[in-house]
Every structure is written in C-alpha cells, then in structure tokens.
Structure 1
Amino acid sequence: MNYFLLMTTRTNKFDSNDIQGHYDHLEKLKKEELLEMYGPFSDATGGAYLIKAASLDEATKIGNSDPLIQNGSSTLTIKEWLLR
C-alpha cells in the first residue's frame, strides 16, 4: 500500500450541509483501515486527509466519492506521499 495526501479546497459553491457527509466518508475510510489522519486547515479554506491505497487510481476513486467533491463544495488535489 502507498500513502496519498488528499487536499480539499473550498469553492465558491461551498455548502456547509456537505460537511456531515464528508465526516461520514472519513469514518468509513477509518473503519476500512485506510485513513491515517485528517483535519481542517486553520484558515478555513479546506483540509487534508492521508490515506493508504494501492494506486493513484484507487486514491482518486476514494477522493472523488467524498460528498464535498461530488457536490462541488470543494476541489480535490491528490499527491502520493513518500513517507519516511
């Protein structure tokens, strides 16, 4: 498994009603033992979460299934992170 950092950035369409779905998504990843850590940015522009996935394609599918992304509340940037 590889590590991927998924960064969300709020858009001008941000809807706070999507936050609960986002946390539900993270809880599901936690139960599947894919989520390592997560949290919002201090400037309230978005947040990030670190996951384990077999590939960039898998990480992208996981990220795109987040309600924040599906509903247009945030954009997604994914980076494979070579942790040491």
Structure 2
Amino acid sequence: MNRYLVLLIRRPHLDPAVVPLHLAFLQGLHAEGRVELSGGFSDKSGGAYLLHAADLAEATAIVHDDPAHVSGGWDITVYEWQVV
C-alpha cells in the first residue's frame, strides 16, 4: 500500500452539518486500517488525513466518497506521499 496525504481546506459556504458525517467517514477508514493519521488544523481552516491505498486512482476514489468532497464544502487535494 502507498500513502496519500489528503488536504482539506474549508470553503466559506461549508455546511457545518457535514462535519459529523466526514468524521464518521474517517472513523470507518481508521477501523479498516486505511487511515493512519487524521486531524484538523488549529486555526479551523481545514485538516488532513494520511490514507493508505494501492494507487492514486484508488485513493482518489476513496476521497470522492468522503462527505467532505460530496458536499462541496472543502477544497480537497490528494498527494502521493513518499515517506522515507
């Protein structure tokens, strides 16, 4: 499995009702061993999570199921992270 850094930056029209759905999504990924780390930024501008996936296509597909993506409330970028 490869590691992918998923960065989420809140948009002004973010619906706060989506936040618990996003957190539940991340908890499910944690339970599956797909997310190694996750958390919000201290300034409340967004957050990040470290996702395990076979390739960028799989990582992107997983992220596209995240309520944060589906709702359109965050700008989301996925990077393959080559940790040494």
TM-score normalised by structure 1 residue count: 0.95
Runs of 4+ with deviation above 2 angstroms: none
Which residue does 1:81 correspond to in 2? 81
What is the deviation of 1:68?
A: 1.2
Name the CA distance, whole Å, in 2 between partners of 1:82 and 1:54. 13
TM alignment of 1:1-84, pairs within 5 A? 1-84=1-84
What is the deviation of 1:79?
A: 0.5
Name the CA distance, whole Å, in 2 between partners of 1:69 and 1:51. 15
Aligned residue for 2:44, secondary structure, equals coil
What is the deviation of 1:69?
A: 1.1
What is the number of residues matched between the two proteins?
84
Aligned residue for 2:76, secondary structure, equals strand
Q: CA RMSD for the aligned pairs? A: 0.7
**Structure 1: gaps spanning 5 or more residues:** none
